[in-house]
Amino acid sequence: MALRCLVVRGLVKEVEEEINKFLTTHEVNVVHMAQSEHGEYLSISLIYEVLRPLD
């Protein structure tokens, strides 16, 4: 099992859109998620494994 990490930073709406786009275009199993906030900005780190290789 190879784990990978995705980090998304920005305003809440931007982060939400980026994560939604990633999850709809990749077949993954999210193993862990962490969130941190600083003012208006949000950082999300997803540790995941790829269920099916990308074409």
Q: In degrees rounded to 5, what are phi and psi of residue 8?
A: -125, 130
pLDDT at 51: 86
pLDDT one-digit tens code per residue, 28-52: 999 999 999 999 999 999 999 998 7
pTM: 0.81
Average pLDDT value for residue range 5-29? 95
Residue with tokens 């208006």: 40
Distance CA(24)–CA(48), nearest Å, equals 14
- Cβ–Cβ under 8 Å, residues 45 and 6: yes
Look at residues 28, 21, 37 and name the one whose alpha carbon lies nearest to residue 5.
Answer: 28
Residue 6: per-residue pLDDT: 97
Q: Where are the alpha helices (DSSP H) in 1-55?
A: 12-25
